[in-house]
């Protein structure tokens, strides 16, 4: 089993920082991807970006398989992901975030995106995503740019969520 990281929670300033591109996918980055997947599965979550584990390189992992329902794991690892196309059609979905525990809100994003990235083997790859996967990959790339889903909400809604998480932290029930 790969090691796991601790997931950082708002208002940690690392979540507002921009992550830096990796020069290539070497064994250190592969180890990081393995550990991020293990961290994400343990959480559990469907995606995780490097900022959330206090690393500021452009690495993210995802897996939408319902392993709780007997599905096989389908891990996706990306380095230096770039959205190279997004649809005009929009999609609204309820999102959550492991760095904003137990808070959910509707977020509107392009319904379909095409993403170019380096895969686990360091090869150039592309993914066309719709539905939950589209929301997830956009949510993760936002993290690498220091953007959180609450940044799309009104100031009032965002402040309510920030205060709720601070309250949960004070009560030590994260």
Stretch of 71-79, 80-88, 134-142, 154-162 lying at the interface with ligand GNR (CB under 6 A): 134-142
Instruction: Examine the residue annotation and report whether 88 is marked as an active-site residue of this protein.
Output: no
The whole-angstrom separation of Cα 61 and Cα 34 is 9
Among 97, 118, 136, 161, interactor with Ni ion by CB under 5 A: 97
Residue 23: which residues within 8 A CB-CB, separation 6 or more? none
Q: What angle do CA 39, 132, 158 make, to 5 degrees?
A: 75
Catalytic residue among 89, 108, 140, 166: 140
∠ CA 89-91-73, nearest 5°, is 120
Closest separation in Å from C-beta 79 to ligand GNR:
16
Which is nearer to ligand GNR, 25 or 141 (by Cβ)?
Answer: 141
Q: Which does 109 bind (CB under 5 to 8 A by kind): ligand GNR, Ni ion, none?
A: none
User: Least CB distance from residue 113 to ligand GNR, whole Å?
Assistant: 13
CA distance 29 to 14: 19
Q: What is the C-alpha to C-alpha distance for residues 120 and 31, in angstroms, rounded to an integer?
A: 10
Which residue numbers are catalytic? 140
- Contact footprint for ligand GNR (CB under 6 A): 45-49, 52, 95-99, 135-136, 139-140, 143
Residues that bind Ni ion (CB under 5 A): 97
């Amino acid at each position: 089993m790969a090691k796991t990281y601790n997931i950082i929670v708002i208002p940690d300033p690392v979540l507002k920082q921009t992550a830096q591109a990796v020069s290539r996918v070497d064994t250190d980055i592969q180890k990081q991807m393995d550990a991020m997947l293990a961290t994400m599965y343990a959480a559990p979550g469907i995606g995780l970006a490097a900022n959330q584990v206090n690393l500021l390189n452009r690495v993210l992992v995802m897996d939408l398989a319902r392993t709780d329902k007997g599905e096989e794991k389908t891990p996706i690892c990306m380095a230096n992901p770039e959205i190279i196309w997004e649809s005009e059609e929009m999609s609204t979905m309820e999102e959550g975030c492991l760095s904003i525990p137990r808070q959910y809100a509707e977020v509107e994003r392009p319904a379909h995106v095409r993403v170019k990235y380096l895969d686990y083997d360091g090869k150039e790859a592309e993914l066309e995503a719709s539905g939950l996967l589209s929301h997830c990959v956009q949510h993760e790339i936002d993290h690498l740019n220091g953007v959180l889903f609450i940044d799309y909400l009104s100031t009032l809604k965002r402040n309510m969520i920030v205060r709720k998480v601070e309250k949960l932290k004070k009560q030590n029930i994260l």
